[in-house]
Amino acid sequence: MVNKTPQVLTIAGMDSSGGAGVSADLKTFAAQGVYGANVIVALTAQNTMGVQQVSMTSPSMIHAQLKSVADDLKISAVKSGMLGDVPTVEAVAEFLQQADFGNYVLDPVMVAKGGAHLLSDEAIVAIKSSLIPLATLITPNMPEAEVLSGSNITNHEDVMQSASKIQQLGVENVLLKGGHASGKDVYDYILLADGSHFWLKSSRVDTIRTHGTGDTISAAITARLALGDDMKTAIIRAKAYVDATIREGIDVGHGHGPLNHQARVTDRHFPEVLENV
């Protein structure tokens, strides 16, 4: 039967070294057992040591790619990653307002692991006004959550308040990732549309091979939603997959290496689910 296979879409940039962006998303989709389509919003010359050059896709070409996918495939969940600038954000938002792509997972790629801002203030405003209200789930890291909520995060209470402020921007569900915090354990906070909330606790892995972690977890959630998981289950399973990709790492490159997207998930990779921390 045509379009019986679960199909998902990533809208993001292409990492020439294969570790992040569309490359990571497509590997994750395949690992989860769904078919992945892609819309390329930027080409990058990058490797495990950094980004050397970026070339943005024109808004008209972004629209053309989106239309081609929508005209043929049955997309049941979509995610966006690095969008880069205001014209790109606006092009994506305009199409998503009209498309029937199912659940939308927004990875607001604004702040790099080293703290560098990847978007202008104008592009951040565009994401807040145009994309966040369309999203089923948003997955900011802690620096991105501080930008979106306008508040500093120094403790667990701050995390909860920041997530609540982000939800008030119009998104249904919030996953605030805790990887940027210090400590031997990582605490991710999830605030769901019905007001329920919980924490995911996992032990930190001492490695620099974490390139593409944010892309991978948002892609895994997107895939799980397309497979029929509810939001809580999708997030927990995606977190377990990411833990496996880090813990069962591979040795690639001379810098911050990529994840092992072929890693096999076992019970030991699943996070502890907590009501309070």
In a domain, 277, yes or no: no
Best CA proximity match to 21, nearest among 58, 49, 46: 46
- DSSP conformational letter for 130: I
Residue 149 is assigned to a structural domain of this protein: yes
Residue 251 has pLDDT above 80, yes or no: yes
Handedness of CA 237, 242, 246, 251 (dihedral sign): positive
Q: Hey, is 205 helix, strand or coil?
A: coil
Q: What is the CA radius of gyration of the chain?
A: 17
Percent of the chain with pLDDT over 70: 96
Question: Residue 137 and residue 104: Cα distance in Å, rounded?
Answer: 7
By residue range, what is the domain housing residue 11? 5-272
DSSP run (H or E) holding 125: helix 121-126
Residue 164: which residues within 8 A CB-CB, separation 6 or more? 191
Strand order through the sheet with 185-191: 50-56, 35-47, 7-15, 75-80, 103-106, 137-138, 173-176, 185-191, 197-203, 272-274
- Written as six digits, the tokens of 205 are 């892995």
- Whether the CB-CB separation of 151 and 161 falls below 8 Å is answered with yes
The structure tokens listed for 158 are 């701050």
Pairing between strand 272-274 and 7-15?
Answer: unpaired
The count of structural domains within the chain is 1
Nearest to 108 by CA among 87, 126, 136, 127: 127
pLDDT for 197-233, tens place per residue? 999 999 999 999 999 999 999 999 999 999 999 999 9
In the block, which residue shows the tokens 């057992």? 33
Please give the Cα distance from 161 to 154 (Å, whole number). Answer: 11
- CATH label of the domain that carries residue 168: 3.40.1190.20
Position 169 in a domain: yes
Report the mean per-residue pLDDT for the chain: 94
Confidence band (pLDDT; 50, 70, 90) for 182?
confident
Q: Is residue 228 part of a domain?
A: yes
Residue 211 lies in a domain: yes
Query: What is the tens place of the pLDDT at every residue in 101-155?
Result: 999 999 999 866 555 567 888 999 999 999 999 999 999 999 999 999 999 999 9
Which one-letter DSSP state was computed for residue 269?
A: G
- Quote the pLDDT of residue 4: 85
How does pLDDT run across 60-95, given as a tens digit for each residue? Answer: 999 999 999 999 999 999 999 999 999 999 999 999
* pLDDT in the model for residue 119: 82
Q: Between β-strands 7-15 and 173-176, what pairing exists: parallel, antiparallel or unpaired?
A: unpaired
Q: Report yes or no on 105 lying in a domain.
A: yes
The answer as to whether 47 is a domain residue is yes
